[in-house]
Amino acid sequence: MKAFLKRYKVFLILVILNVVVGAVFPEIGIKSFSLTKQNFVEMISVIPPIFILLGLLDVWVDRATMMKYTGKGSGLKGVLIALLMGSAAAGPLYAAFPIAGIMLKKGSSLFNVFVFIGAWSTTKIPMLTFEAASLGINFMITRLILSVIGIFVIAAVTEKSLNQEQQEKIYEVNRK
């Protein structure tokens, strides 16, 4: 029971706060519970397919292949694969993190994992087509180029800001 309370402490505190707010301000409480329900339904609809894909990725792609194509020595090829994987992905950003964990487990470089997460969050293909249709091709191309440059800068700075011990700890956590 102690372990359960420790693990879900933040969640339980938020539930209690939600109940208190609902009791004091019923309109806000109803809206809060409605939004919570919506978010829960969205997560339940997104997470199972993501975990199925994760299982397939874990089983079908062996470590040597992942290291060859997205590992430390993969160069431009690895960066392009990470960028394309992130851009072609569908779903909310929180779905990218389990996939990034599998990439780390399989030996992808931190830089390529950071590029993958950055691409997932900013360069999705459906978003690009929407931008081109709504805001014009010039806007879409400008934003895409600036986003890709930003992704590379952020990935490089983030990787360089981690010392060797921190990098090894990230890999260790994802091997469990």
pLDDT in tens, 38-95: 988 888 888 888 888 888 888 888 888 888 899 988 899 999 999 999 998 878 888 8
pTM of the model: 0.78
Q: What is the pLDDT of residue 39?
A: 87
Tell me which H or E stretch contains 94.
none
Q: Is a pLDDT exceeding 70 seen at residue 7?
A: yes
Do residues 170 and 110 touch, judged by C-beta distance below 8 A? yes
- How far apart are alpha carbons 120 and 86 in whole angstroms? 4
Name the band, by pLDDT with cuts 50, 70 and 90, for residue 176.
Answer: low
Q: What is the pLDDT of residue 142?
A: 96
3-class SS of residue 109: coil
Note the pLDDT tens digit of each residue in 120-164. Answer: 999 998 889 999 999 999 999 999 999 999 999 999 999 999 999
Cα-based distances in Å from 93 to 8, 89, 107, 110, 116: 22, 10, 22, 18, 11
- How far apart are alpha carbons 112 and 86 in whole angstroms? 10
Of 84, 149, 153, 145, which Cα lies nearest the Cα of 120? 84
Note the pLDDT tens digit of each residue in 90-109. Answer: 788 888 999 999 999 999 99
Note the pLDDT tens digit of each residue in 9-39. Answer: 988 898 898 899 989 999 998 898 899 889 8
Q: What is the pLDDT of residue 15?
A: 87
How far is CA 130 from its chain centroid? 21
What tokens were used for 4?
A: 């359960």
